Amino acid sequence: MDKLTLILINQLFEIERKLVTKQVNAVDRNFERVKHDLQESGIKVIDPTGEKYEDTRTDCQASIVGDLGKNMVITRTMKPIVISNGPNGMELVQRGTVIVEKA
The predicted-structure confidence for 41-61, as pLDDT tens digits, reads as follows 999 999 999 999 998 999 999
- Residue-wise pLDDT for 71-82, tens only, equals 999 999 999 999
**Contact, 47 vs 80, CB < 8 A?**
yes
Q: What's the CA gap between 100 and 75, in Å, rounded?
A: 6
Q: Which pLDDT belongs to residue 2? A: 87
- Collapsing DSSP states into helix, strand and coil, what is residue 77? strand
State the pTM of this model. 0.83
Does residue 68 have a pLDDT over 90?
no
φ, ψ dihedrals at 96, nearest 5°: -70, 145
**Cα separation values, 98 from 1, 46, 56, Å:** 32, 12, 14
Per-residue pLDDT, 69? 87
Domain boundaries, the chain: 1-41, 45-103
